[in-house]
């Protein structure tokens, strides 16, 4: 439960800020000039803050829509991402956010209209091209939906732009918002998945993988298109058996025709992120297989990456059309 809310003076009177504040009646509200005063200082400890994060409400000033990294996408020519929120309700050990940010506090930018204006401009500028807008990389949008109403605002918005795909990346099993709206052909509810035994160790505070599969089935039956995201693939002692079992469990419940895309990605960190994360989880066997590669990035050995990618693709091909497969970066 959030018990401290920092709010920028500039937006404290806005409807969205007041709507969010009203959900935490017992929280102490502290006014701030800019979110950076609370979010950016170094010498904050991410792990301690994660025990009970505060909420920061702010106005995003620029950089509403950003180009996705090269090689990232699910089939369209142009790929963008946008983040209305930094940090996540869940506490996954391998999450890059804990290496990237000084603070574990939830930062929500409440000026959704500015994001929508920029997305609209981007769509109009490249109207001949197919494009995808990704969300849920700096947070889990669906998990925070009861607080932000982000998806409730953006599903109707994207219903006006059929050519633009809208991907919501999540581990949440909250389906309330999807019951409120008709399924949208250009919206992908993309689930991050890993074998159950690994998720129990690594995906702390997140719903179990079986609950995620159950929710995917529910959404698919309602007509929503599903994305499967095996990103990152996690190496461990009996990874082949674990991943085979995971794929079988998914396709036992979900028809292939409901799957929009499947993507696979390797576990990678910039060095500085990894050093922090290793300090937070010194006993993690899963992190012990990672190395600095020749590009100065922390990853598995190339042979492990290749073997995992190849094996998982072949396994997935037993259930799904390989043309739906994409690689994350």
Binding site for other proteins (CB under 8 A): 3-4, 6, 28, 30, 32-33, 37-38, 41, 43-45, 47-49, 51-52, 54, 275, 278-280, 282-285, 287-291, 301, 304
Which of these, 173, 174, 164, 170, lies nearest to 193 by C-alpha position?
170
3-class SS letters over 265-279 = EECEEEHHHHHHHHH
For residues 56 and 108, is the Cβ–Cβ distance under 8 A? yes
Comparing CB distances to other proteins, the nearer of 7 and 259 is 7
Comparing CB distances to other proteins, the nearer of 65 and 201 is 201
Beta carbon of residue 30, minimum distance to other proteins (angstroms, whole number) = 6
Comparing CB distances to other proteins, the nearer of 26 and 124 is 26
| Residue 107 neighbours by CB under 8 Å, 6+ apart | 35, 39, 56, 58, 85, 86, 87
CA distance 308 to 288: 17
Beta carbon of residue 286, minimum distance to other proteins (angstroms, whole number) = 8
Beta carbon of residue 141, minimum distance to other proteins (angstroms, whole number) = 24
Helix (H), strand (E) at residue 211: helix 209-222
Beta carbon of residue 278, minimum distance to other proteins (angstroms, whole number) = 6
CA distance 56 to 139: 14
First to last CA, the chain: 35
Comparing CB distances to other proteins, the nearer of 94 and 166 is 94
Residue 270: strand pairing partners: 297
Question: Rounded to a whole number, what is the largest CA-CA distance in the chain?
Answer: 55
Comparing CB distances to other proteins, the nearer of 153 and 307 is 307
Comparing CB distances to other proteins, the nearer of 299 and 320 is 299
Beta carbon of residue 24, minimum distance to other proteins (angstroms, whole number) = 13
| Residue 327 neighbours by CB under 8 Å, 6+ apart | 71, 263, 264, 265, 309
Beta carbon of residue 237, minimum distance to other proteins (angstroms, whole number) = 10
């Amino acid at each position: 439960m959030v018990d401290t809310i920092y709010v920028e003076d500039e937006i404290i009177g806005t409807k969205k800020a007041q709507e969010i504040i009203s959900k935490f009646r017992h929280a102490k509200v502290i006014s701030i000039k800019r979110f950076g005063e609370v979010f950016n200082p170094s010498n904050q400890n991410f792990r301690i803050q994660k025990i009970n994060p505060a909420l920061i409400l702010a106005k995003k000033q620029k950089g509403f829509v950003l180009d996705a990294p090269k090689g990232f996408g699910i089939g369209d020519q142009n790929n963008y991402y946008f983040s209305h929120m930094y940090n996540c309700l869940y506490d996954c050990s391998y999450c890059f956010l804990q290496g990237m940010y000084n603070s574990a506090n939830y930062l929500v930018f409440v000026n959704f209209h500015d994001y929508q204006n920029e997305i609209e401009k981007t769509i109009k500028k490249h109207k001949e091209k197919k494009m995808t807008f990704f969300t849920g990389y700096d947070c889990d949008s669906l998990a925070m939906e009861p607080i932000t109403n982000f998806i409730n605002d953006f599903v109707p918005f994207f219903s006006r732009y059929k050519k633009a795909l809208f991907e919501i990346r999540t581990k949440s099993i909250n389906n309330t918002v999807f019951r409120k709206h008709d399924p949208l052909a250009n919206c992908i509810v993309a689930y991050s998945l890993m074998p159950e035994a690994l998720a129990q160790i690594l995906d702390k505070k997140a719903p179990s993988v079986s609950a995620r599969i159950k929710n995917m089935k529910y959404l698919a039956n309602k007509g929503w298109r599903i994305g499967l995201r095996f990103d990152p693939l996690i190496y461990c002692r009996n990874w082949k058996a674990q991943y085979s079992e995971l794929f079988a469990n998914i396709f036992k419940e979900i028809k292939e025709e409901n799957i929009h895309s499947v993507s696979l990605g390797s576990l990678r960190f910039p060095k500085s992120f990894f050093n922090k994360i290793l300090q937070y989880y010194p006993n993690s066997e899963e992190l012990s297989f990672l190395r600095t590669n020749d590009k100065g990035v922390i990853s598995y050995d190339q042979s492990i990456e290749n073997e995992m990618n190849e094996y998982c693709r072949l396994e997935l091909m037993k259930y799904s059309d390989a043309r739906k497969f994409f690689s994350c970066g």
